[in-house]
Each structure stands twice: as C-alpha cells, then as structure tokens.
C-alpha cells in the first residue's frame, strides 16, 4: 500500500532551501527506485541548566543534514548525509544507477535565535531556604524539515517549543528527597518571553512534592484499588496498549498482541486515540517526519481495537492504513511508527467518588515514571511519582519510591471508572534508541486492584 499523497509545494518561511535539497535528492534517486523519500532537516537545540539561581551550563546543538530512504529490488535502504557529504549522494545506493552530475543544493543559513531562557534567579521563590536545592533544565528546540518522495509528497514545516523541568531536593533528618515538575510551551512565541511567576510556580510544586516524599512512612507490598490522576492514567494505557498498536509491533503477532486483539480483552469503557493536531501537545505536528498530514487515529473505541499507527514502511509492508505517525529523532535515524499525543476522553465519574477507599485503602498516582512492558508476555513494571495512600478511613498519607507491576491484560480488565476531570503532561518515550516527545492527555481513571510496593 502506498503512502497517502500530500501535495504542498511551499512551506513556512525559511524552508524553501530544504525543499529544494530534498527535491534534488529525489531527482537523483527516484529514477532507479520503486519508492524514494528524502528528508531534509535543520534543527537547533539549546539546553540551559541552572542550580540554585546560578547558571551551570548552556549547550547549543545544531543538527542539519539529509536522509534518504529507498525501496529497490524488494529491499529497503536508508542513509543519512551530512551537509558536507551531500556530493556523495548521487553514487548511492548503487553506482551508475542514477545521474551523478549537477551541483549540490544550496543549504540554508543558520537562523537567528531569539530564545530567552528563564533568568536563573527567577526560578527561586521568596520561600526558598537553604535546605532546598533547585536544579532546572530548559530545552528549546527550533526545527525545520522538508520531505519529498516519489508518491507526490512535497511538504515543509517548522516547529518551535521549549520544555522546562525542575528537580527539587530537600534534606530531612540527614536524608535527601526529590520532587519533580515540568512545563511545556510551544508555538511561534515559545521561548521568547515568560511571566516571572510561572517558573516560580513550577518550582514551588516540585518543592512540595519533595516535602511529601520526606513525610512518607508507608512501605512494603500492597494490593489495593489504584486511581491514576489526569495524564497518569493515559500514561499507563499508552504503555499497555499504545506500544502494542505501533505498526511494527502489531505485525509481530506476539502472544500478548494476539490476546489483546481478542474481543473483550479491553473493557468497553476504554476509548483511546492518537491526536497530533492538539495545539499544546508535546508530540503535535501538522505533518509527520515523512510528510504525511497528521490526523486523529482511533486506537481503541469502546473496547474495540482500531487502526495501528503506521510509518511509510509499515503501511507498505503490512498493508496498514497510512496514519501519519512516522517519527524520527533527527535526520540520522530511521522513521518509526510512533505515538504523537495519546488521549483518553473524559468519562462520567466524579473524581472525588473515584477516590473512595476500599477496606484495603487506595493508592493515588500523580505521575507515571520510568518502566517498561514486555510486549511478548504483557508483564509490566513502572515507577510511580507524587503518590498518596488513602487509608480505609479516608486519611491521606504520602508514599514514595512506588513501583507498579503486574500483567497488562489482567490490569486492563480491572478498569472500573473514568473521571470528568482532565489534564495533560509532556514526556519522552524511547524506542530503538530514539527518544522523542509524547503528549499525554486524560481524566483520572480507577482500577479495582493493582499490585504495588513502596520504600
């Protein structure tokens, strides 16, 4: 199945040269290939790291180059070319199969950056005392890409965003405890200005989480109902269902994916979709990294599995409907089927009612941390942050170093409520060595019983 043709002969200001470079590559590779795709990129990333009101480091990483992917004689080939190496492109993938004449394309000049990082002192609030330590990181990205292929795709786009993270540390009885918080801004003005109160509010929440961690006393292993707060709930479903519905994983037909596809494996109360069109999502885009227009893809509707997320390779190889989910870390990496923003719509349950404890109590999870699911067996293990244990009589006790573990299908069967609230978060997600940004948006969700442990 061929990718959906996208016609766009012009792009945002500053991307014309990238389009010309991608077209130059296709003119040389296309005649000898069944399919050819060229991806030109110019990206600048800036990271500013501060500690307790002082700048520790400022790192600037420019990335620019052109990647080509061709299908020839039933085989896929991919190669990345730096700007300095473009002259060798006409001799790839096989000498003599494409014309080797013609000048290399004109590459665009570096853009002028107007990024205004948060002043180091602006992270500190009036209530900061020496027992607090604040480590902050700002990651600013200005990324322009152009994609041209032999199916008629010709498009270019520019994205701009800044992600700010705070790690607060407090000392209590000689021990150190951490709290985390983050904040995403995207759009044409992202990183050009900020309200002084916003960094302090983000930092203050991180300090509060650190103090909660210091007050934690409950440990051991437990099985109780678990309520995942907004964005944490969809973080779990992204791991348990979303990765299985990436086209390459879906095609593997593992035991877990096979069981997940059976009717009734996912409760009828669960609906999950991928949406790159959200205005404020970390994974939002107009076009994916293969030039395909982004659109809403239903992953699960009322418990029924929908369309796998696809890249050009997976749609052509496995016959999946093209969804515009070919994403890559940069031009040096191969595009893979990846999520953009994973979304669960609002439910009908009161968030307060979801928090009603059982005789064993209840765990509330504010944020899902690192972990993994084994897509062969469905076994999972995830860290959980900003957690609170609700006692059977309703008292709330902070818990720290929480781990969630179990079987994915058994866990999905225990969904028993979806709230009317809603929230979002920005996270990074890894696959085959590529870390990319993913947006998470959902209401709270309650599971009747999960296994967890706390330190």
Please check whether residue 8 lies inside any domain of the structure.
no
Please check whether residue 2 lies inside any domain of the structure.
no
Q: Which of 215, 241, 269 marks a domain boundary?
A: 215
| Structure confidence by residue, pLDDT tens digits, 257-298 | 999 999 999 999 999 999 999 999 999 999 999 999 999 999
Cα–Cα distance between 28 and 24 in angstroms, integer? 7
Please check whether residue 364 lies inside any domain of the structure.
yes
Query: Is pLDDT at 97 greater than 60 in this prediction?
Result: no
Residues 273 and 196 in one domain: no
Residues 211 and 224 in one domain: no
Residues 35 and 101 in one domain: yes
| Structure confidence by residue, pLDDT tens digits, 297-325 | 999 999 999 999 999 999 999 988 899 99
Residues 116 and 243 in one domain: no
| Structure confidence by residue, pLDDT tens digits, 373-408 | 999 999 999 999 999 999 999 999 999 999 999 999
Please check whether residue 381 lies inside any domain of the structure.
yes
Please check whether residue 6 lies inside any domain of the structure.
no
pTM, two decimal places: 0.92
Q: Which of 154, 184, 215 marks a domain boundary?
A: 215
| pLDDT at residue 80, rounded to an integer | 97
Residues 234 and 199 in one domain: no
Residues 89 and 128 in one domain: yes
* Number of domains the chain contains: 2
Domain harbouring 45, CATH code: 3.30.2290.10
Distance set, CA 177 to CA 211, 213, 365, 386 (Å): 7, 6, 18, 12
Residues 201 and 252 in one domain: no
Distance set, CA 265 to CA 104, 109, 210, 270, 445 (Å): 54, 53, 38, 11, 18
Edge-first strand order for the sheet with 35-51 is 75-82, 54-72, 35-51, 132-149, 154-172, 175-186
Domain span at residue 326? 220-454
| pLDDT at residue 74, rounded to an integer | 87
Residues 146 and 178 in one domain: yes
Please check whether residue 7 lies inside any domain of the structure.
no
| Structure confidence by residue, pLDDT tens digits, 101-155 | 557 888 888 778 899 999 999 998 765 544 589 999 999 999 999 999 999 999 9
Residues 159 and 29 in one domain: yes
Residues 159 and 305 in one domain: no
Q: Which of 180, 195, 215 marks a domain boundary?
A: 215
Please check whether residue 354 lies inside any domain of the structure.
yes
Residues 173 and 245 in one domain: no
Please check whether residue 86 lies inside any domain of the structure.
yes
Residues 270 and 247 in one domain: yes
């Amino acid at each position: 199945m061929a990718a959906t043709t996208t016609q766009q002969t012009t792009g945002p200001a500053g991307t014309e040269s990238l389009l010309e470079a991608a077209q130059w590559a296709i003119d040389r590779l296309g005649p000898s290939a069944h399919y050819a795709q060229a991806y030109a990129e110019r990206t600048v990333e800036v990271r500013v790291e501060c500690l307790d009101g002082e700048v520790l480091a400022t790192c600037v990483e420019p990335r620019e180059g052109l990647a080509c992917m061709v299908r020839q004689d039933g085989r896929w080939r991919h190669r990345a070319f730096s700007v300095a190496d473009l002259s060798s492109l006409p001799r790839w993938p096989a000498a003599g199969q494409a014309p080797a004449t013609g000048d290399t394309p004109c590459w665009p000049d570096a853009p002028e950056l107007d990024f205004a990082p948060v002043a180091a002192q602006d992270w500190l609030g009036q209530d900061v005392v020496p027992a607090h330590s604040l480590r902050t990181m700002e990651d600013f990205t200005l990324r322009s890409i152009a994609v041209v292929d032999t199916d008629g795709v010709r498009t270019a786009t520019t994205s701009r965003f800044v992600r700010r993270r705070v790690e607060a540390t407090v000392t209590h009885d000689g021990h150190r405890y951490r709290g985390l918080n983050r904040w995403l801004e995207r759009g044409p003005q992202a990183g050009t200005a900020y309200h002084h109160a916003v960094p302090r509010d983000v930092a203050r929440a991180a300090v509060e989480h650190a103090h909660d961690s210091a007050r934690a006393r409950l440990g051991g292993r437990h099985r109780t109902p678990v309520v995942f707060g907004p964005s944490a709930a969809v973080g779990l479903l992204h791991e348990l269902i979303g990765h299985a519905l990436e086209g390459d994983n879906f095609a593997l037909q593992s035991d877990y994916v096979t069981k997940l596809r059976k009717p009734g494996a996912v409760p009828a109360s669960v609906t999950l979709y991928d949406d790159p069109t959200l205005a404020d999502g970390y994974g939002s885009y107009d076009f994916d990294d293969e030039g395909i227009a982004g659109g809403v893809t239903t992953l699960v509707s009322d418990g029924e599995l929908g369309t796998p997320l696809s890249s050009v390779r997976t749609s052509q190889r496995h016959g999946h409907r093209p969804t515009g989910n070919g994403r890559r870390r940069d031009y040096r990496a191969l595009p893979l089927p990846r999520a953009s923003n994973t979304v669960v719509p609002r439910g009908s349950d009161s968030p307060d009612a979801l928090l009603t404890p059982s005789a064993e109590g209840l765990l509330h999870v504010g944020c899902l941390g690192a972990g993994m699911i084994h897509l062969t067996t469905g076994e999972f293990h995830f860290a959980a942050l900003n957690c609170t244990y609700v006692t059977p009589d309703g008292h709330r006790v902070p818990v720290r170093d929480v781990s969630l573990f179990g079987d994915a299908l058994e866990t999905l069967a225990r969904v028993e409520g979806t709230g009317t609230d809603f929230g979002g978060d920005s996270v990074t997600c890894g696959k085959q060595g590529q870390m990319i940004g993913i947006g998470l948006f959902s209401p709270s969700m309650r599971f009747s019983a999960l296994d967890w442990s706390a330190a």
